[in-house]
Amino acid sequence: MILMNDEAKLIDAAREAARKSYSPYSSFPVGAALAFENGDIVTGTNIENASYGLALCAETVAVAKAMDAGTRGGLIAVAVTGPGPEPITPCGRCRQVLNELAQLGGTDPTILCIGPDRTIRLTLSELLPHAFGPAALD
C-alpha cells in the first residue's frame, strides 16, 4: 500500500526521469519510478539505439538499476509517464520484468499509469494475469 504523499513523490520522480530519456528515434520519452517498502525510489528512462529494436524501456532500466543495487523484492508501486495526452501502460516485456522483482518479494505492486489529465491505477496481476515467474521453476 502506498500513501497519497508518497504517490505524488513517485509521480514526480517518474516525470523527472523522463527528462533524461534518450529517445531520438521515437521522440517518445518515458519515465518510470519504482517504490519499495523501505521508502526507496528507483527510476529509469527509455534508452534507444541506432539499431531500433534494441531500445530499452524505462521500466526495465529501473528494474535493472534496482536489482544491480541488490534489491530482491519489496516492490509496492510503479509510476509510468509518457509524453502523450493519454496515460501509457507498461509494454508486455516490462510487465514480465516487473513481475520477476515483484514475485521475489511476494508483492503485487500498484501500477500508476500517469497522463496529463488522468491516472489509470491497476495492479501488476491485473496487467499480467496468470504470470509465469520464479516460483514456477521451483
Q: Which residues are catalytic?
A: 59
Residue 22 beta carbon to ligand THU: minimum distance, rounded to whole angstroms: 9
CB of 60 to ligand THU, least distance (A): 8
CB of 138 to ligand THU, least distance (A): 29
Cβ neighbours for 64, distance < 8 A, ≥ 6 positions apart = 44
**Residues in contact with ligand THU by the rule CB under 6 A:** 23, 26, 28, 30, 46, 48, 55, 57-59, 90-91, 94
Nearest to 110, CA basis, from 45, 36, 44:
36
Of 102 and 136, nearer to ligand THU (C-beta) is 102
Position 138, amino acid: D
Q: How many CB atoms within 10 Å of residue 124?
A: 23
Instruction: Kindly tell me which of 1 and 118 has the beta carbon lying closer to ligand THU.
Output: 118
Nearer to ligand THU, 26 or 119 (CB): 26
Q: What nine digits make up the cell of 34?
A: 519504482
Task: Determine what percent of the chain falls in helix, strand and coil, rounding each to the nearest 5.
Answer: 35, 20, 40
